[in-house]
Structure 1
Amino acid sequence: MESSFAKNRKGILLMILSSVCVCIGQLFWKLSATEGLSFMIVGFVFYALGALIMLVAYKYGSLSVLQPMLSLNYIFTIFLAAFVLGEVITPTKLAGILVITVSVVLIGGGDR
């Protein structure tokens, strides 16, 4: 498992950064409904940046390891919604976060 993480480390880190950028972009899109066009433009910039980082990430790791990392978007979205929009993190959401995290770790460590 450790060798897989070491082999794909740069790609994994870039994929995590990509997920964060995409989630921030989506948050700005949501906020643009009340805050205006400038928030929508910032959202597009973050989303595009996330997409570009994702493309670069594929250069530094195995597709079978990196593609499932996009599931982290759901986790980041839950936390952003809680901290920025005041949404509640329910026990069901916590269970989902746990399942996604364990799955990503197992898949990330399974490259041979």
Structure 2
Amino acid sequence: MMKLLNSLKENKCGIAIMIAASACTALGQLCWKLSLGEINLFLIGGLSLYFLGAVGMVIAFRFGSLSVLHPLLSLGYVFALFLGSIFLGEIITSKNYIGTALIITGAVLIGGGDD
């Protein structure tokens, strides 16, 4: 447990940036979906958010270990699940909740410590 807490302390800035970057990419993808394949503000906004997310990922790697930060990219799937439910009316099933719990658990276990 101390290993996990030390890793979080050492990588906290990178972790925060990576989580924000994952949220930006998920929001960007939502905007792409809302654009309906047309060139409009949703598409431009989506491209901008996705670009910000990509830049954020690059920046995050400067503030933490690759082995800790890279698994956090999988949180984009979690953000996308909830954004789809909120904005697109998609149904979240019990399988989705189980999968989400596994993704979060995996990100913590894999990225939870530096050696």
Normalising by structure 2, we get a TM-score of 0.93
Q: Show the counterpart of 1:58.
A: 61
Letter in 2 for 1:55: V
Structure holding more helix per residue: 1
Moved over 4 A (4+): none
- Give the alignment partner of residue 96 of structure 2, picking from 75, 93, 98: 93
Q: How does 1:32-47 map to 2 (within 5 A)?
A: 32-33=35-36, 37-47=40-50
Identity of aligned residues (%): 47
Secondary structure at the aligned position of 1:23 is classed as helix
Residues 1:19 and 2:11 are matched in the alignment: no
Q: 1:22 offset after TM fit, Å?
A: 0.4
Normalising by structure 1, we get a TM-score of 0.95
Unaligned ranges ≥5, structure 1:
none
Q: Distance in 2 between matches of 1:75 and 1:61?
A: 22
The two structures, once aligned, show a CA RMSD in angstroms of 1.2
Q: 1:38 offset after TM fit, Å?
A: 1.4
Q: Distance in 2 between matches of 1:73 and 1:109?
A: 18
Q: 1:111 offset after TM fit, Å?
A: 1.3
Unaligned ranges ≥5, structure 2:
none
